[in-house]
Amino acid sequence: MSEARHHRIEVGAVSLHASSWGRLDGELPAIVLLHDSLGAVSLWRDFPFQLSQQTGRAVVAYDRYGFGQSSARQDRLAPGFIAEEARPWLLTVLQQLGLTQAVLLGHSVGGGMAIAAAAELPEQVVAVITESAQAFVEDRTLQGIRKAREQFANPDQLARLARHHGQDQDKAQWVLEAWTETWLAPEFAAWSLTPALARLHCPVLAIHGDEDEYGSLAHPHRIATQPQAFPGQGRSLILSGCGHVPHREQPDAVLRAVVEFLR
């Protein structure tokens, strides 16, 4: 990835890895990326650099606690982990990088985290972009997760995942189970973004592929229509022939949409 600078964010005894592109002291609020359930900074590939170039803004991506080059963890994720990313993790990233305001762009579960964080941190978050985000627990999502869990029974799959999580098989196994076992747990079945969306007071754009194997078009519809703090607050973009990773499958369309939305 071109022109990246690397940072360590210290949150008590936990150390988070972050990378940035562009000037963090620029006039426009930076874009902060929140990765998906198996994600890491490295899996964004060259998208952050392209995003910085196209928007003229700094872009920051960080590995959540337990992921990528951030500290490993052994505990199970709590059912409220999506809302809990805002404090202390995201807030400390913003503070230690000197970002008083930011645009959040989250992929998959990172999109849910972006919505929840915007509701929790209204002074810091000026806009939200979700990509393939889930707004509730849907059968289609759970079916996709069960299928993925079967595929990861192949050791080669886990080894590929470990390449993005410090070459650590134990860490990769934690990442996998933090996704599959949390979402498939009965106590997570009632989770929904509805309470956070009701508190949202910034513009939101929901990007979704019409062939997303982890969520139907009910998700971007809810994300775009439920917030009603002001006219035109929410909008959606449905990408034809696109699956769960639009920034990789149709990067030009995603970049154009983000540039237009932020303009």
pLDDT band at 78 (very low <50, low <70, confident <90, very high): very high
Model confidence over 229-253: pLDDT tens digits? 999 999 999 999 999 999 999 999 9
Q: Report the percentage of the chain scoring pLDDT > 70.
A: 99
In angstroms, rounded to a whole number, what is the distance separating the alpha carbons of residues 243 and 205? Answer: 17
Mean pLDDT in residue range 145-162: 96
DSSP 155-180: HHHHHHHHTTTTT-HHHHHHHHHHHH
Say if pTM beats, i.e. exceeds, 0.95.
Answer: yes
- The overall average pLDDT reported for the chain is 97
User: Is residue 58's pLDDT more than 90?
Assistant: yes
In angstroms, rounded to a whole number, what is the distance separating the alpha carbons of residues 65 and 201? Answer: 27
Q: Report the percentage of the chain scoring pLDDT > 90.
A: 99
Residue ranges of domains in the chain: 5-137+192-262
Give exposure, 132-165, as e/b (b: 16+ Cβ within 10 Å): bbbbbeeeebbebbeebeeebeeeeebeebbebb
pLDDT band at 2 (very low <50, low <70, confident <90, very high): low
CB 36 within 8 A of CB 108: yes
Identify the pLDDT of residue 1.
Answer: 46
pLDDT band at 206 (very low <50, low <70, confident <90, very high): very high
CATH topology of domain 5-137+192-262: Rossmann fold (3.40.50)
Identify the pLDDT of residue 3.
Answer: 83
Model confidence over 166-203: pLDDT tens digits? 999 999 999 999 999 999 999 999 999 999 999 999 99
Mean pLDDT in residue range 32-54: 98
In angstroms, rounded to a whole number, what is the distance separating the alpha carbons of residues 247 and 229? Answer: 28
